[in-house]
Amino acid sequence: MALLSLLFTFLLSSILFFNQPLSVQCDEEDDLLQGINKYRSSIKLTTLTENKNADCLADEIADELKGKPCTNTTGANTVPGTEPQFSDYPLLLSKCHLNISNTRDGSIMPACVPGLTPTIVLSNFTKSLYSANLNDSKYTGIGIGKEDNWIVVVLTTNTSQGSFSPATNDHNAANFLSQFPWIYSSLFFLLPNIYYLF
């Protein structure tokens, strides 16, 4: 009986604790999302909704750019043809359970801003070559990631070629469980004890 009481208490506390939001965006990401949506509203376009898969890819790309200096071959003012190339782009996609076919219509926009000052970050997207993408009504979703001086925006569409939907449904269970590592440890702890309940 004591074990059942302990299990009930553990499950209840786990549910209450993990009922909180799983991830809290950083201030720079929140500021940028709000700024971009205000910008789009000001030109009579719909606001962009957050896309978790695009967030994942933006985080992976920002991580790849971490440590690279801000130059005229990186970020929003990149000279066309000198953009950063990602030889491991397929790997970055696979880390987010994506494939090239459902990301083709999207747009990846990295910007390098020392200190990630919010007003400068926003102008790097709204007053640069990137503004053409932000002015395009085909984009409906957004993902944002940051590392050091880098902030990456990934725009998505509502088409199958730009939806950033997971590559297969096989990853859905793994994705869910990876967000809740405590499930694994709970099962590891509980399974040996369940035998004694019966």
State residue 69's pLDDT score. 87
At position 155, the amino acid (one-letter code) is L
Tokens found for residue 130: 């990137």
3-state secondary structure of 112: strand
Domain boundaries, the chain: 25-160+170-197
Query: What average pLDDT score do residues 9-22 get?
Result: 48
**pLDDT band at 68, cuts 50/70/90?**
confident
Across the chain, mean pLDDT equals 77
Structure-token pair, residue 49 = 């909704």
CA distances from 120 to 81, 112, 125 (A): 24, 10, 9
Q: Which amino acid is at 57?
A: L
Give which of 119, 33, 127 is closest to 76, Cα–Cα. Answer: 127
For range 172-196, the mean pLDDT:
44
β-partners of residue 108 are 154
The class (CATH top level) of 25-160+170-197 is: alpha beta
Q: How confident is the model over 109-137, as a mean pLDDT?
A: 92
Percentage of the chain lying above the pLDDT 90 cut: 51
